[in-house]
Amino acid sequence: MKVKVAMLLTMTLLLSGCGTFTALSSSDREIASDLNSKRTLCNSLPRMYGGVSYNFCILHSSGSDGYIDFVMNLYLLDTFASAALDTVVLPYTAVQQINRGNVPLRRLP
């Protein structure tokens, strides 16, 4: 029983950090706020392969708030998992991309 609880907790923690999960379960405003708080240099986030793009936006940030190499390596590893999951949800995200376009991350003046 303890193994199942530990495994469920581990999966929940891993999934909560997954770029695909974040891109699919968060509103546009939450995604923009999160990426802007990390000082990403991205201007928009495509909905197709959004998890991979989300991770690349985090990796392509100008923030100097102390990201350590270990955390960056986790984002790199998550990118491979996100690519697989993004492929599975591609039919859904393709329709969302056509209907709603990219998620804007910056407000233009």
Phi, psi (degrees; rounded to nearest 5) at 101: 75, -165
- As a whole number of angstroms, the distance between CA 35 and CA 71 comes to 16
pLDDT at 78: 83
Residue 68 in tokens: 């350590």
Is position 7 within any domain? yes
pLDDT digits (tens, 9 = 90+) for 12-66: 555 555 888 889 999 999 999 988 888 888 999 999 999 999 989 888 877 555 5
- As a whole number of angstroms, the distance between CA 58 and CA 75 comes to 8
Is position 86 within any domain? yes
pLDDT digits (tens, 9 = 90+) for 76-92: 788 888 888 899 999 99
Total domains present in the chain: 1
Is position 68 within any domain? yes
Is position 39 within any domain? yes
Is position 88 within any domain? yes
> Which residue segment(s) compose the domain that 23 sits in?
2-104
Is position 61 within any domain? yes
Q: Which of 75, 81, 46 is closest to 58 using CA atoms?
A: 75
Q: Are 50 and 100 in contact (CB under 8 A)?
A: no
Is position 109 within any domain? no
